[in-house]
Each structure stands twice: as structure tokens, then as C-alpha cells.
Amino acid sequence: MTSKERVMTALDYRQPDRVPVFMGLWPEFKTAWQQANPDATQTAEDYFLEDIYIAVGDETPYPSQAGELGQEDGYIIERDGWGQTKRRRDGGYFFQQLSFAYDDKANLVYGDFDSPLLEERYAGHDATMEQRKERYCVFAKTGGPYIRTAFMRGEEHFLMDMAGDPALAAELAMRSAVHMAQIGVEEIRRWELQDTGIWIFDDMAATKGPMFSPATAERVLAPAWTYMIDAYRAAGANKVILHSDGNIGPLLDLFVDLGFDGINPVEYNGGLDAVKLREKYGHRLALLGGLDNMVIMPRGDRDEIREHFLHVLSAGREGGFALGTHSVAPDISPETMEYIRDLTLEFGTYPMNWA
């Protein structure tokens, strides 16, 4: 099977040739693996059996506003396409937020969003899309109404809005959803991804649970999620997958009701056990992920990894599953990933007849 055939067969709750894989290899991990294997003739993605590629254009509302604004006391002051003005050290990853696209009264500082149809939003993938589609199961991607509104409003401000003025929060979330949906529909159209679909990345949870209650999610964010899902279905998207870090367990009933086809990365360390979720949701929710990259994989104990791996993999005996984790950073050794690859080839083929 091709990667596309493998992934889509699994997402239709049928058995492919082997379990699809989506690990999310960090560049730093790939460098470490390449240094350990200088004679390798494959890319790290090919060697580690990656099946899924996520393509996203420039979805920011204000690409025209992005750029460096100056320097001050050894810091770079810059504005990104979300309208955030930030201060950071040269070469630094973390930054201090100085201002946002919304002011204190929730008015847009920079006016109407830039057009979602700007060619430069999509040019980065246009030239390579056909090559990607030959190798991977390619999905489009946009952000979601929680995280993208938090970028523009500031997360603390937006959470306060959700608690204290839910009508305003819902209005801001819907504004984000409309913009994101326009971007996503254009990605699906121009990259011809109707037969695979699109992912909505909307990080909204910590290890112990979501940043807000299920009732608040239903009141404030559900209309925005519904708008996006409906727009993507109307554009022909076969599957709509939700990505969120953390423990989104208290929200899963809502996500199933809204019509999401699956979730990623199913963080084990955040309390999401793929086997228990399969028992609860059956064929109503595909699971993409499940492996623990926080404790078990970095620790590297082979007996522990094998037991954990087989437990998680058992959630995919009848399909509806892709094996993976949130990401593979350099705290996970190449040797550990080699072992997981070996386990995948040994136990991940269908039918899964092992005990």
C-alpha cells in the first residue's frame, strides 16, 4: 500500500497492510540520527516509516504587518502575522509579548484581516505538493478558534473573556474561525486534498485537563468549531482531525458530537489511554498517536517500551488508528526509535494475531 492508501484505509476502520505511523521527528532528532548513521541512504522520515504529512499555508490574519520593528537594549522588537508585538534575544526561542492584535477593549488594532486568497500564503507548498502527495498521505491544516484567538487577544485576556464575557469571547472565536475556514478551504481546493482532508490544530489543554470547562467550550467555542467543520465538509474534506496537546478527555464527547473524525496526539502522559478510548468510542473516533514521549520513550527501557508499545498498538487491531506520539525530540535516542521501528515491523502488520 502507499502511505495514502494505508492511512485512509485505517481511518475508515478497515485493516491496512500495516499500522500507519506519524511520529513528528524534530530536526534535532534527525540530525542526531544522521550523525549516528552517516552511511544511511534514506531520509529519517523514510527510515522511520512516516506516513503523514501536514501542509499549512500562512494562515496569519496580518502577514502584511509582520517584520522587525527595531532593536532595544540587546533585544529584537518584532511583530508577527498574528499582530503580536514581541521582544526576544537574537537567536532566542522564547519571547515577551508586548501587545496584541486586539486592544484592551477587544478592538482590532490593525483593522480587517488580509485577504485569505493572497498567493504568497500558499506558495511555499504549491511547488512541492505533487511530490509530497506521491510519498505521503497529505492533509491540509489550519489552527483553531481557541489557540488562534489567544494569539491575537493574549491567552490570559481570552480566558478572562471566556469566563466573564462569553458572548464577546464567542464573537472573537467566530471571527477567527471564519478566517481560518477561508484559508483551509483554499488549501483543500488548490492542493486537491478532498480525498484526505484537513487537521485543525487547537492546543487547549495541559497535562491535567483543558484550560476551560466543557460547558464553556460548548457555549463559547462549539459554534466556531462547527463553522469550520461544516466549511471543510462543504469543500469536500473526507476527514477532519483535531490536534490538541494535553488531556482533552473531558471534551471528547463534545468533539464526537461536533463531527471530528479523529484526534491527535492522544497523549498518554496526559491521561489519554488509546485502549480505553477505543473501548469507549469504538468506531466514532479515530486515534492518531498514543505513545508516551514524555517519560517512557526518553527513559529508553526496552522492556517498558515493548509493554507500552503493544498496549497502545492493541487499540488499532480493527483499524481506526495510527501509531505515533506528539513528537520525537533529541531526549529520545536514535536507539530507542530504532527499537520502536523494529516493533512496528514485527507487530504492526495486519492481521494482528499476536496475543
Least confident of 87-96, 134-143, 230-239, 310-319: 87-96
Give the integer Cα–Cα distance in Å for 197 and 281: 21
Angle between helices 145-153 and 222-234 (to 10 degrees): 120
Give the integer Cα–Cα distance in Å for 245 and 265: 7
Same domain, 292 and 336: yes
What pLDDT sits at residue 232? 98
Single pTM value for the model: 0.96
In a domain, 355, yes or no: no
281 has a pLDDT exceeding 70 = yes
Average pLDDT of 151-166?
97
Q: Where are the alpha helices (DSSP H) in the chain?
A: 3-11, 27-36, 44-47, 123-126, 129-135, 145-153, 155-164, 166-191, 214-216, 222-234, 252-258, 274-281, 296-299, 302-313, 334-347
Same domain, 196 and 260: yes
pLDDT digits 0-9 by tens, 175-185 = 999 999 999 99
In a domain, 353, yes or no: no
Domain that holds residue 70: 63-100
Q: Could you tell me the CATH number of the domain that includes residue 309?
A: 3.20.20.210
Strands 85-89 and 75-79, by their bridges, are antiparallel
What pLDDT sits at residue 355? 67
* Count of domains forming the chain: 2
Provide the 3-class DSSP secondary structure of residue 265: coil
Same domain, 67 and 55: no
pLDDT digits 0-9 by tens, 51-102 = 999 999 999 999 999 999 999 888 999 999 999 999 999 888 889 999 999 9
Sequence-distant (6+) residues with CB within 8 A of 279 are: none
DSSP symbols for 294-329: TTHHHH--HHHHHHHHHHHHGGGTTSSEEEE-S-B-
DSSP state of 219: I
Of the candidates 287, 227, 217, 222, the residue with the CA atom closest to the CA atom of residue 250? 217
Same domain, 94 and 113: no
Domain boundary among 73, 100, 127: 100
Same domain, 86 and 153: no
Cβ burial, residue 143 (10 Å; 0-12/13-18/19+)? buried
Same domain, 263 and 253: yes
Of the candidates 109, 102, 98, 103, the residue with the CA atom closest to the CA atom of residue 75? 98
What pLDDT sits at residue 91? 81
In a domain, 352, yes or no: no
What pLDDT sits at residue 17? 97
Average pLDDT of 177-204?
98
Same domain, 259 and 297: yes
Give the integer Cα–Cα distance in Å for 93 and 39: 32
Give the integer Cα–Cα distance in Å for 147 and 284: 25
190 has a pLDDT exceeding 70 = yes
What pLDDT sits at residue 74? 86
Domain boundary among 46, 76, 100: 100
Same domain, 96 and 184: no
